[in-house]
Amino acid sequence: MVFPFVRLCSGPFMSRRSKARELVVQMLYQADCNADLPKTVVHEQMRERIIDDPEMFEFAWKLYSGTIDRRAEIDLKIEAIAQNWSLSRMPITDRNVLRLGAYELLYTDVPHRVAINEALELSKTFGTKDSSPFVNGVLDKLVPAEKRSQPPRQSTTAPDVSTETLTD
């Protein structure tokens, strides 16, 4: 079963990467509801949604496929930190925002402040009033020590727009 797409909730000032992350959370949600959903189907659906921006499609696909490929590992880390909460008890939107945020924190060179802030915005868009404090608390505990000790980037542009890159 494939769920119909929800229109991206992006506002006029939302960055391209934030919009891509929104789509990734929607696709993670879909994959969570449909365990047998092939990655090829998601790939095509994402391509159709970001057809006019190949760079953002590539960014979104790397986030999605990386999160899916490392989901079991990410889930173990989230459950170890989220005391008294199993993933199955978490709202589906929260758990997928956490998965994406954890992937960015643990496996990319996105600054931890950017990864957490993006996850908080996603939890406010897709979650409940209790989602963002919960997501913030879990992701803050997942920040690797080497990221935490890095000074914030000095830039005249938003760090989310042009300075972050993914690592393989």
Could you say which architecture CATH assigns to the domain 16-144? Orthogonal Bundle (1.10)
- Mean pLDDT across the chain: 85
7-12, long-range: CB < 8 A, 24+ apart: 8/49, 9/125, 9/126
- pLDDT of res. 148: 84
- pLDDT of res. 151: 75
- CA 92, 105, 62, 68 dihedral sign is negative
- pLDDT of res. 78: 96
- pLDDT of res. 163: 40
d(C-alpha 78, C-alpha 80), whole Å:
5
Given the structure tokens 């989901």, which residue do they identify?
A: 71
Query: End-to-end alpha-carbon separation of the chain, Å?
Result: 31
Task: Bin 53: left if φ > 0, else alpha if -120 < ψ < 50, else beta.
Answer: beta
Number of Cβ within a 10 Å radius of residue 108 = 18
- pLDDT of res. 85: 86
Strands (E), the chain: none
- pLDDT of res. 154: 56
Answer yes or no: pTM beyond 0.75: yes
Each domain of the chain, given as residue ranges in start order, spans 16-144
- pLDDT of res. 12: 52
Low pLDDT (below 70) residues in the chain: 1-14, 153-168
